[in-house]
Amino acid sequence: MDTTPDLLTLRIVRTISEHGTISEAARILGYSQPALSQHLTRAQTRLGLALVVRAGRGVRLTEAGRALASHAVTVLNAVDAASAELAELAGLSSGTVRIAAFPTASSTLVPRLIRQLRQQHPNLTVNYVEAEPPQALQLLRDGAADVAITFSYPEDRADPHLSRDGGHTTVPLFTEPVVLVLPDSHALATADDVGLADLANDAWIAGCTLCRGHLLALCNLEGFAPEIGLETDNALAVLNFVSRGLGVALLPQLALSSLTLPEGVSIHSPQPSSERTIQYVIQPGATRIPSVAATIAMLTALDGASWGLRDYPESERTAR
Amino acid sequence: MDTTPDLLTLRIVRTISEHGTISEAARILGYSQPALSQHLTRAQTRLGLALVVRAGRGVRLTEAGRALASHAVTVLNAVDAASAELAELAGLSSGTVRIAAFPTASSTLVPRLIRQLRQQHPNLTVNYVEAEPPQALQLLRDGAADVAITFSYPEDRADPHLSRDGGHTTVPLFTEPVVLVLPDSHALATADDVGLADLANDAWIAGCTLCRGHLLALCNLEGFAPEIGLETDNALAVLNFVSRGLGVALLPQLALSSLTLPEGVSIHSPQPSSERTIQYVIQPGATRIPSVAATIAMLTALDGASWGLRDYPESERTAR
DNA sequence: ACTCAAGCATAACTAGACGTGATAGTTCAT
DNA sequence: ATGAACTATCACGTCTAGTTATGCTTGAGT
């Protein structure tokens, strides 16, 4: 005989002890009278003892019923506390979201995202970590981040997003062009569109690991291997190197949007043109986590145009 | 969206937080793995938020999951306490039974009953109140007693047991003869059987209200109205009155069995013979109250023969 | 004593919850 | 690469837990 009461039984017994009748308890708890009557008989059968006995035209709690009623207060208070905490989390009156994003986003997308989140959900705690896409994905896998904001080059065959597709959900947000940066001294500095093949003999300045991979892949398609003279993660440094005539470079549009262009460099559209995709990545099913849902809602609502980003085509914006 | 968790969800979440995986939780809780997996998805749908997310080949609790797990400890401890108290009541390691019985039983049936109960259930608290049948029934109705031990005369048309038949359950236990008590000085003192009609002109000594009613009904059947000179509830007083030659009396066998017969009285079988029934009365459904069940089990096991009682015919021993 | 209203129990029915085993897909480690 | 561990999903049967409709008992007020 299982003497473990269920929550409804506790609620019923408590309400009966407070209001005296089953019918009134049913009204208060929002059930029909037979529902409670039957639940009680079932519960009593399960428990193997009586909780109520008829008394006149009402009922009276037995000793066991009174015992349950007194415990019910404790149990239901605790349950209500749990419920309230869940409601808070669901309503974002509390909760935490941990965001990881690549460095360039730190000065563009992320500040705006966090400001909007703070404004709309003042009680939501937001943590932010800067990390290149592979590291951001690792943070996600380790449970150290809830949302990773990353980018992909469509040509990248080693894209970490593809390698373990089942382990996370990737949703594209924007595409941005990759632009060519030439020093004014360069022979093609006055052209609008510049063929990459025409730069086969130039010195190249490479960005972060991923961007460098992209550069290599792109040049490979054009039939040459670029000579890479300098490497740096820092977009501003790249620009300065170019302005001193130390080489040419490809940079994503977003990297430029938060910088003022130094003297002596010019922006061009490379031929063939190229672009990268900015996306967010979450744990599968994490849309059910309110803080995450709020964050990605905010993200998709962000207007990328101010940074030269284009919304990813809606028709193709599907989770992977 | 109802954010109230149910007990199983709390148990599951707690166990997952302690043991890390759903499968292990299922083993511990005695379910199949799909059962918990499905229960979790249902719970998460109900709650409107995620409690677990996949992580590698296991799962990890979300913020909400961890919140629930911590509340689960409180809730489940309280539920377990309630369960333990019910188990105590069910196993009669605690509990109370309140018994009401008519005065004559106080010195015969009841002491033996209570002694047996105490012996078999040392932790059961037994309360006893002496009350004539109508009062005992009232105590039962008021919830002031759990078991009433009463008697009925079959001729009694005003028997309170009959008046509100639905309000309680009556189970006959024994029948006992009603005997005639005559003083030695009486002309019929040497006869075995004595016709009541032959005592039409004697002075009568009446017992309690119910017994007096019985006497009147009986004499009425025989065609005379007895002259009642003395009344007393006390059977010993009745006997002493008779021994002094103050009258004749009818007494139930049980009343005599605990007394030593005074000098100068003799016991006879009245004609027509008469008997009363000793029974217990409980609230309907009260057999599900362990302390009551134990008491009536004890009662039906009592051997009435030592007091001159006869077991009520088994075939007719049905609850009314 | 009769009648009415309050309250509980029961019946018949339905929808959904809740188990099960079988199976497939991931992930991690050897 | 292979296997072990873990979770998710499917198909299925059973039982739970509600519903409305209805009848019975009780207490109160004519």
Contacts of A67 (CB under 8 A, 6+ apart): B82, B85, B86, B89
Say yes or no to pLDDT of B316 above 60.
no
Higher pLDDT, A163 or B6: B6
Residue B269: what pLDDT? 92
- Separation between Cα atoms, residue A291 and residue A289, nearest integer Å: 6
- Our measurement of CA B23 to C1' D16, in angstroms, reads 25
Quickly state the pLDDT bin for A320 (edges 50, 70, 90): very low
CB within 8 Å: A86 and B290: no
Residue B160: what pLDDT? 65
Lowest mean pLDDT among A117-126, B85-94, B304-313: B304-313
Quickly state the pLDDT bin for A14 (edges 50, 70, 90): very high
CB within 8 Å: B289 and A63: yes
Residue B138 contacts A where some CB pair is shorter than 8 Å: no
Residue A165: what pLDDT? 52
Say yes or no to pLDDT of A319 above 70.
no
Say yes or no to pLDDT of A315 above 80.
no
**Looking at beta carbons, which residues of chain A come within 8 Å of B288?**
44, 48-50
Can you list the alpha helix ranges (DSSP code H) found in chain B? 7-19, 22-29, 33-47, 63-90, 103-106, 109-120, 133-141, 160-163, 209-222, 235-243, 253-257, 290-301
Quickly state the pLDDT bin for B317 (edges 50, 70, 90): very low
Domains, chain A, ordered by start: 7-90 (1.10.10.10), 96-170+281-304 (3.40.190.10), 175-275 (3.40.190.10)
**Looking at beta carbons, which residues of chain A come within 8 Å of B30?**
none
Residue A144 contacts B where some CB pair is shorter than 8 Å: no
Q: How far is CA A31 from the centre of its chain?
A: 40
Higher pLDDT, B6 or B166: B6
Residues whose beta carbon sits under 7 Å from strand C: A 21-24, 33-34, 37-38, 40-41, 52, 54, 57-59, 141, 164, 166-167; B 6, 8, 30-32, 34-35, 38-39, 42, 56-57
Say yes or no to pLDDT of B157 above 80.
no
Say yes or no to pLDDT of A277 above 80.
yes
Residue A6: what pLDDT? 94
- Separation between Cα atoms, residue B93 and residue B82, nearest integer Å: 14
Say yes or no to pLDDT of B246 above 90.
yes
Residue B193: what pLDDT? 87
The letter for the amino acid at B236 is L
Contacts of B221 (CB under 8 A, 6+ apart): B155, B272
Residue A6 per-residue DSSP state: P
Sign of CA dihedral A128, A134, A139, A140: positive
Which residues lie across from A277 on neighbouring strands? A152, A175
Report which of B69, B143, B296 is spatially closest to residue A56, judged by C-alpha positions.
Answer: B143
B15 touches strand D (CB under 7 A): no
Question: How far does the CA of residue A52 sit from the closest CA of chain B (Å)?
Answer: 9
Nucleotides of C under 7 A from a protein CB: 5-12, 17-23, 25-28
Residue B289 per-residue DSSP state: S
C-beta separation of A155 from A295 below 8 A: no
Residue A89: what pLDDT? 94
Find which of A2, A3, A46, A98 to mutate to test the B interface (most B CBs within 10 Å of its CB).
A3
Say yes or no to pLDDT of A125 above 90.
yes
C-beta separation of B250 from B215 below 8 A: yes
A35 touches strand D (CB under 7 A): yes
Nearest nucleotide over every DNA/RNA strand to the A285 CA, judged by C1': D8
- The neighbour count for residue B45, using CB atoms within 10 Å, is 11
Say yes or no to pLDDT of B203 above 80.
yes
Which residues lie across from B276 on neighbouring strands? B176
β-strands B203-206, B227-231 pairing? parallel
Residue B166: what pLDDT? 52
Quickly state the pLDDT bin for A243 (edges 50, 70, 90): very high
Can you list the alpha helix ranges (DSSP code H) found in chain A? 7-19, 22-29, 33-47, 63-90, 103-106, 109-120, 133-141, 160-163, 209-222, 235-243, 253-257, 290-301
Residue A88: what pLDDT? 94
Express each pLDDT in A149-200 by its tens digit: 999 887 766 666 655 555 688 888 999 999 999 999 998 988 888 899 999 9
Quickly state the pLDDT bin for A213 (edges 50, 70, 90): confident
Quickly state the pLDDT bin for A314 (edges 50, 70, 90): low
C-alpha dist (Å) from residue A203 to A184, A255, B53: 15, 21, 48
Residue B248 per-residue DSSP state: B
The first and second tokens of residue B253, run together, are 């066998």
Nearest nucleotide over every DNA/RNA strand to the B9 CA, judged by C1': C18
Residue B314: what pLDDT? 56
C-alpha dist (Å) from residue B204 to A301, B180, B213, B230, B250: 104, 11, 13, 7, 9
- Separation between Cα atoms, residue B91 and residue B85, nearest integer Å: 10
**H or E element that contains B211:** helix B209-222
Say yes or no to pLDDT of B171 above 80.
yes
Residue B72 contacts A where some CB pair is shorter than 8 Å: yes
CB within 8 Å: B284 and A75: no
Residues 193-252 of A with CB under 8 A from B: none
Nearest nucleotide over every DNA/RNA strand to the B46 CA, judged by C1': C17
Find the mean pLDDT for residues A117-134. 94
Find the mean pLDDT for residues A269-273. 90
Residue B251 per-residue DSSP state: E
Say yes or no to pLDDT of B153 above 50.
yes
Find which of A41, A60, A66, A71 to mutate to test the B interface (most B CBs within 10 Å of its CB).
A71
Say yes or no to pLDDT of B44 above 90.
yes
> Could you identify the residue written with the tokens 């048309």?
B157
The first and second tokens of residue A158, run together, are 């080693």
Express each pLDDT in B67-84 by its tens digit: 999 999 999 999 999 999
Residue A257 contacts B where some CB pair is shorter than 8 Å: no
Residue B70: what pLDDT? 96
- Separation between Cα atoms, residue A197 and residue B226, nearest integer Å: 137
Residue A160: what pLDDT? 64
When the pLDDT of each residue in chain A is averaged and rounded to a whole number, the result is 89
When the pLDDT of each residue in chain B is averaged and rounded to a whole number, the result is 89
**Looking at beta carbons, which residues of chain B come within 8 Å of A46?**
none
Quickly state the pLDDT bin for B150 (edges 50, 70, 90): very high
- Separation between Cα atoms, residue B76 and residue B14, nearest integer Å: 9
CB within 8 Å: B1 and A90: yes
> Could you identify the residue written with the tokens 């309170």?
B160
Residue A60 contacts B where some CB pair is shorter than 8 Å: yes
CB within 8 Å: B79 and A4: yes
The first and second tokens of residue A23, run together, are 């019918």
Residue A57 contacts B where some CB pair is shorter than 8 Å: no
Say yes or no to pLDDT of A296 above 90.
yes
CB within 8 Å: A143 and B60: yes
Give the DSSP letter string of A228-291.
EEEE-S-HHHHHHHHHTTS-BEEEEHHHHHTSPPPTTEEEEEEES--EEEEEEEE-TTGGGSHH
Find the mean pLDDT for residues B56-63. 91
Q: To the nearest 10°, report the CA torsion of B102, B104, B109, B115.
A: 90
pLDDT above 90 covers a percentage of chain B that reads 61
- Separation between Cα atoms, residue A216 and residue A204, nearest integer Å: 10
Residue B56 contacts A where some CB pair is shorter than 8 Å: yes
Quickly state the pLDDT bin for B163 (edges 50, 70, 90): low
Residue B184: what pLDDT? 92
pLDDT above 90 covers a percentage of chain A that reads 62
Express each pLDDT in B251-297 by its tens digit: 999 999 888 899 989 999 998 888 999 999 988 878 888 999 999 99
Nearest nucleotide over every DNA/RNA strand to the A54 CA, judged by C1': C8
